[in-house]
Amino acid sequence: MSESVFLTSWRGHITLGQPGLHLTEGNHPLQFFVGVTENGNPRVVVRSSAKPIKPTLSNLVLVDRYQDTTARWNVSFTLQDRKFDEVFLRLFDDAHARSAAAHNEEDALARVTAALDEWRRLLKPRPSGVLSMEELRGLVGELWLMLHRFSLERSMDETVEGWLGPLGLPQDFWFAGSGHSEAKSIGPATTRVKISSAHQLDAEDLELLVLRAATTSEGTAGAVSLPTLVGRIRTALDEETVAAASFDSRLDRLSVNLDEAFYADTWFVVASVTDFAVTDEFPAIRSSGLAPGLGHVLYEIELSAIEEFRTAHLVVA
């Protein structure tokens, strides 16, 4: 199988060993520069007009984000251990190939971020007994909504009592006066949301909230982790109230042990929140419409197919 032009070009610069960066093929929504450092370490820089998220890979890759003299944004990745040359090159060959098919720069950046996140998750073992990355992203999204949305309209005590997902109810939240809310947190390049039952979108006064939450580094503006969100909610609660005990009880039901290093080391940044009204016309599988004997429904909804039901869109970061 022949290698891509991107990879062949980069290998050539590494073989020559001359320090510097070289712009790869121009027919791409982003600018990719490849080369080596003065020490001969492989390096790649992704340049864009829009400010990108600074991703996290591993302690073997030095990541730097900066603006150049033309005010364009650059994210630089430098491999620190030459034993991992092949993995490093293949990773960015994949990111380059995926983003090449993007319709615009924003989409291309999202695809690069998604590729790096998937490689990082693939190569980093997850401790047994902890939430999966998808589960963690979902929980972080729910807690983020509690802090930055629901508690703005009511007390934190009331917000915690309205958090019903951990209790096994179909929807994540319910509040008197506003009804049900189901939250779905997805990555920056995801185009679908997963619905885990026929009951989840089968309720009156229901809104679907879709959060785009990308993994990032601790130093990114607005970055949050599970422990930081839990700490902020606990601070907002009176420790002596029933709600404080109820909040901890809900975390226990989710089998969340905050002492796990995985939670402290995994950071997210919420980029946007989109509201959808789940009306009778909203495309969904509902328990009330299933034939007798059918159950355990799991399906996905294309976000592009529900655009007409969008009621609000908030850009956060």
Query: Is 164 within a domain?
Result: yes
Residues 156 and 263 both lie in one domain? yes
Beta-carbon contacts of residue 9 (< 8 Å; ≥ 6 apart) = 22, 24, 34
Domain-ending residue, one of 101, 123, 145: 123
- What one-letter code names the amino acid at 249? S
Residues 298 and 160 both lie in one domain? yes
User: What's the pLDDT score for residue 125?
Assistant: 59
pLDDT tens string 85-101: 999 999 999 999 999 98
With pLDDT > 70 as the criterion, what percentage of the chain qualifies?
A: 97
Is residue 288 over pLDDT 90? Answer: no
Domain that holds residue 150: 133-315
Domain-ending residue, one of 123, 146, 174: 123
Give the separation between CA 109 and CA 114, rounded to whole angstroms: 9
Residues 16 and 150 both lie in one domain? no
pTM over 0.85, yes/no: no
Residues 11 and 92 both lie in one domain? yes
Query: Is 189 within a domain?
Result: yes
Residues 290 and 162 both lie in one domain? yes
Domain-ending residue, one of 70, 100, 123: 123
**What is the b/e burial string over 2-18, where b = at least 16 CB atoms within 10 angstroms of the residue's CB?**
eeeebbebbeebbeeee
Residues 164 and 307 both lie in one domain? yes
**Domains: count for the chain:** 2
Give the separation between CA 301 and CA 291, rounded to whole angstroms: 21
pLDDT tens string 112-137: 988 888 888 777 655 656 898 899 99
